[in-house]
């Protein structure tokens, strides 16, 4: 799939990606799961570069869910270290590529060193106006909604009525646009508590490819498929 064949007027504004399959990729090669996570990081770099070149405004990566704490202490520790080292090493590239970084999830539940690197990266990239990369770390769709409701309840002035607009303003990133295209690799076909509110009318794309093997070509082909879908948002065209 060539980038030139895509309709540049119909590029998804917001793409969400469930990067599934790192562990299985490593196990198929008789390697520790950590090798899969390292390769998955390379795939993320590749896809983010492709998204930025296309002019995608927002890409949200499901990096670590609220349920991932159930994994072994060793794997969780490795993932936290990988996130920290990635943020520290990638800030300069984000700045060069005009990328803004945001965090989605419960920041307070993360280790202090991860919090520090996230806050530092967000502060440095705040002026950038190219693609916004949203890292969903310690994130769950249900958790975000529950935390949002509790923010409303604990506010100094309770609204007379809670509607969609009021609730959205209580979310981690109030101005995060709806997801247009949600991609999940690794062969599974479920949302796994990812962006439940934002993906209400997202176009879903499931790939059997394990995340470390997910290529720019497949990414572009998925966007081409998206461009041929008839998005009705509950109405009739």
Q: Is the pLDDT of residue 198 over 70?
A: yes
CA 58 distance to own-chain centroid: 9
Write down the mean pLDDT value for the chain: 94
120 lies in some domain: yes
The whole domain housing 53 covers: 18-227
Q: Is the pLDDT of residue 237 over 70?
A: no
How far from 61 is each of 28, 65, 101, 148, 157, CA to CA, in Å?
A: 24, 11, 11, 21, 34
Active site residues: 20, 68
9 lies in some domain: no
67 lies in some domain: yes
pTM above 0.75, yes or no: yes
Q: What is the mean pLDDT of residues 87-110?
A: 94
Q: What is the mean pLDDT of residues 95-99?
A: 93
Q: Is the pLDDT of residue 231 over 80?
A: yes
195 lies in some domain: yes
232 lies in some domain: no
237 lies in some domain: no
CATH code of the domain containing 89: 3.40.1180.10
* Segment 102-156, tens digit of pLDDT: 999 999 999 999 999 999 999 999 999 999 999 999 999 999 999 999 999 998 8
5 lies in some domain: no
Q: Is the pLDDT of residue 158 over 90?
A: no
117 lies in some domain: yes
How many domains, in total, are found in the chain?
A: 1
């Amino acid at each position: 799939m060539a980038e030139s064949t895509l309709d540049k007027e119909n590029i998804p504004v917001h793409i969400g990606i469930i990067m599934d399959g790192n562990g299985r990729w490593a196990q198929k090669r008789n390697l520790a799961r950590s090798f899969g996570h390292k390769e998955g990081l390379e795939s993320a770099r590749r896809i983010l570069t492709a998204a930025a070149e296309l002019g995608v405004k927002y890409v949200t990566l499901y990096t670590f869910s609220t349920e991932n704490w159930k994994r072994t202490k060793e794997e969780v520790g490795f993932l936290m270290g990988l996130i920290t080292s990635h943020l520290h090493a990638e800030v300069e590239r984000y700045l060069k590529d005009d990328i803004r970084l945001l965090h989605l999830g419960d920041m307070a539940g993360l280790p202090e060193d991860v919090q520090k690197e996230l806050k530092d990266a967000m502060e440095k990239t705040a002026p950038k106006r190219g693609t916004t990369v949203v890292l969903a770390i310690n994130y769950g769709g249900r958790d975000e909604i529950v935390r949002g409701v509790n923010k409303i309840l604990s506010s100094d002035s309770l609204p007379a009525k809670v509607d969609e607009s009021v609730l959205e303003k209580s979310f981690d990133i109030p101005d995060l646009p709806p997801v247009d295209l949600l991609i999940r690799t690794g062969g599974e076909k479920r949302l796994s508590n990812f962006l439940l509110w934002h993906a209400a009318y997202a176009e879903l794309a499931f790939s059997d490819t394990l995340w470390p093997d997910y290529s720019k070509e497949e990414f572009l082909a998925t966007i081409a498929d998206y461009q041929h879908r008839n998005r009705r948002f509950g109405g009739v065209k």
